[in-house]
Structure 1
Amino acid sequence: MSRTHRVTTAALTALLLTSGAALAPPVLADSADRTPAKTAQPAQQRAAQAVPFTRAKAERAADGSHTLSWTSPAATVSVTAYRNPDGTGDGVDLGSAGGTGTLAVPAGKLPAAERWYFRLTPDSGGPLTVTERSFGIESARNFRDVGGYRTTDGRWVKYGEVYRTNKISSLTGAEQSRMLSQGISLDVDLRNYFERKEDPDSIPEGIEYRVADVASLEHGIEFHDPALMTLAEAIALGLLSGSSDLGQSIGYPFMVNFEGADHAFKDLLTGIATNDKGATVFHCSAGKDRTGWGTAVLLTILGVPRETVEADFMASNHYLGRDKAVELSWLRSAFDKADDLYGDFGTYVREGLGLDDATVQALRNRLLTP
């Protein structure tokens, strides 16, 4: 790009390697809903299939019990439990409740399973499948499902398709089996060379491993804006926001400004869009910074509202058990940098990451309910 500047100072290289790293409703609105003619559906058919829920979630307690809750305009909602997100195989009928209701599933009601998925079927409109967000991996506590979020156009991000996590270098045999049982077939590693060498992923045979190094120098040391200017701006904004970690305040805008990161996040999103063998998991070391921005980009592309994207980002504090694992100002600085460089988020996706309309549409077709 004409705005690209080459920076060769060792200090900036070290900064990049050690940094750890406005919703367009929905993003790419000019192209996101272009459905090829061969898959187009009549408006009445789409309306009949539309998921009518405005809120829905499943929570699992330590004793194995579940609590389901939802809000919808339906008169009644019936609930069936399945061992997979597709709802195939034998299901367990759990009963029904009102259109806005809750259903308790006591411990022992369901046979032992790695994970239960609950299909909520309203008396009109399409069903919605929910499950608990945490993957229940003790050695990777930030391992969680990216699904279960409602978009600005009323659709839902499907559970069981994409997972985010911290490093998975210490998985037990049982935890590896759990990954396979949930159909995970692709692992995308966002970490740098030294992190990968020190803590290589421990994944079972049958899961493909790919690297999408956010700090890679494979494509040179190039930035869209002068790096010194981005550095100065990030430090100033970090001080003004009261950031507890100026290194992170600096790292987030550089994930947008550094061209090597563009290639990494493009590879991640393309991998998710084209993985036709199962679900995808991606991660960095703590699963909160590079993984946090990658998740924010994915969810925004899918049309998830900004406040929901921010809530998912901040949830790393809960899963990691640290109040300051992430701060909202860090994420917002990355979104601000995308707006500053490209004018809006959609242009960042198209011109910065280089994702074409077909890939964006493939993500939406794969990960969203009708």
Structure 2
Amino acid sequence: MYRSNRLSKLTDADQAKLTAANVTLDVDLRNAMERKDEPDRLPAGVEYKVADVVSLNNGLGFHEFVPITLGRAIIDAAVKGSSDIGQSIGYPFMVSFQGSDVAFRDLLTAIAQQQSGAVVYHCSAGKDRTGWATAVLLTILGVPRATVNADFLASNTFLGRSDAVEQSWLDAAFDQVNRLYGSFDRYVRDGLRLDQNTVNTVRAKLLV
């Protein structure tokens, strides 16, 4: 299991690394324009799936009245001193937007159904859509929240920026989960609509 940023600029050497890592499935979380402008450059034999986190193909439904989510996020960003109000807004919306539910369900289902080889999933920068997807996956696997937080914040190290991600953004997403569903398990069941068999399969594949 690998997470990444955009795969559009892979060199031949980069592609060889994917092959050596036995990557056989690429799940792209980016939107249609990103995919059109910078299509993934993959080695032969890698299956490609789209799980667009902001797609409107499944409707424009939200689990909460949008102005409420927006207002709360703006206030939260101001109180916590967020350096990027857009991200402070974006994280809770990934929990509230029903199209995002579909994308994350598709990603997790693809992981469960993968028969052989490794999976790589990514967005553009590899830190926000991919960051929340990873937090969801790790939490499903029972990883402690402190470790999930540390993994999320590691983007600052790997991207060489102190402000690539902020803890408050991830907190905002988890807070929205608790606000809308009461627990993470209910978010998985009622929000992502991921059946227990798929959850069990993901755990069986990735836990040792």
Alignment TM-score > 0.5, same fold: yes
Equivalent residue for 1:212, pick from 35, 40, 51 = 51
1:240 Cα deviation from its structure 2 partner: 0.5
TM-score (norm 1): 0.56
1:326 aligns with 2:158: no
| Higher RCO (CA < 8 A, seq sep 6+) | 2
1:241 is aligned to 2:80: yes
Counterpart residue number, 1:351: 190
Secondary structure of the structure 2 residue equivalent to 1:185: strand
- Looking at structure 2, the residues matched to 195 and 240 of structure 1 have their Cα atoms a distance apart, in angstroms, of 32
Is 1:199 the equivalent of 2:38? Answer: yes
Q: Does 1:252 align with 2:96?
A: no
Matched ranges for 1:173-322 at <5 A: 173-322=12-161
Task: Describe the SS at the equivalent of 1:204.
Answer: coil
Q: Does 1:360 align with 2:188?
A: no
Partner AA of 2:110 in structure 1: G
CA shift for structure 1 position 182: 1.1
Among 156, 163, 166, the alignment partner of 2:5 is 166
Whichever of the two has the greater Rg, that structure is: 1
Q: How far off is 1:164 after superposition?
A: 0.4
Q: Structure 1 residue 172: deviation in Å?
A: 0.7
Q: SS of the residue aligned with 1:202?
A: coil
Q: CA RMSD in A?
A: 0.5
Distance 1:238 1:292 in 2: 18
Amino acid at match of 2:163: K
Rounded Cα–Cα distance in structure 2 between residues aligned with 1:181 and 1:165:
16
| CA apart distance, 1:313 | 0.2
CA distance in 2, matches of 1:258, 1:183: 33
Matches within 5 A, 1:24-63: none
Secondary structure of 1:222 counterpart:
coil
- Secondary structure of the residue that 2:72 maps to in structure 1? helix
Moved over 4 A (4+): none
Q: Distance in 2 between matches of 1:200 and 1:181?
A: 22
Instruction: Report how far residue 348 of structure 1 moved.
Output: 0.0
Q: How many pairs align?
A: 208
Which has the larger share of helix? 2
> CA separation in 1, counterparts of 2:90 and 2:163?
16
Instruction: Write the letter of the residue equivalent to 1:347.
Output: R
Aligned pairs for 1:120-139 (under 5 A) are none
Matched residue SS, 1:223: coil
Residue ranges of structure 2 left out of the alignment (5+ in a row): none
State the match for 1:116 in structure 2: none
- State the one-letter code of the partner of 2:134: T
Cα displacement (A) at 1:277? 2.1
Q: CA deviation at 1:193?
A: 0.6
Residue 313 of structure 1: SS of its match in structure 2? helix
Equivalence for 1:91: none
Shift of 1:245: 0.2
State the 1:331 CA deviation.
0.4
Q: Identity of aligned pairs, percent?
A: 60
Post-superposition CA distance 1:103-143 (Å, at most 9, x none): xxxxxxxxxxxxxxxxxxxxxxxxxxxxxxxxxxxxxxxxx
Letter in 2 for 1:252: Y
Classify the secondary structure of the residue corresponding to 2:27: strand
The 1-side partners of 2:71 and 2:100 are apart by: 20
Query: Any gaps of 5 or more consecutive residues in structure 1?
Result: 1-161
Counterpart CA distance in 2 for 1:247 and 1:284 is 17
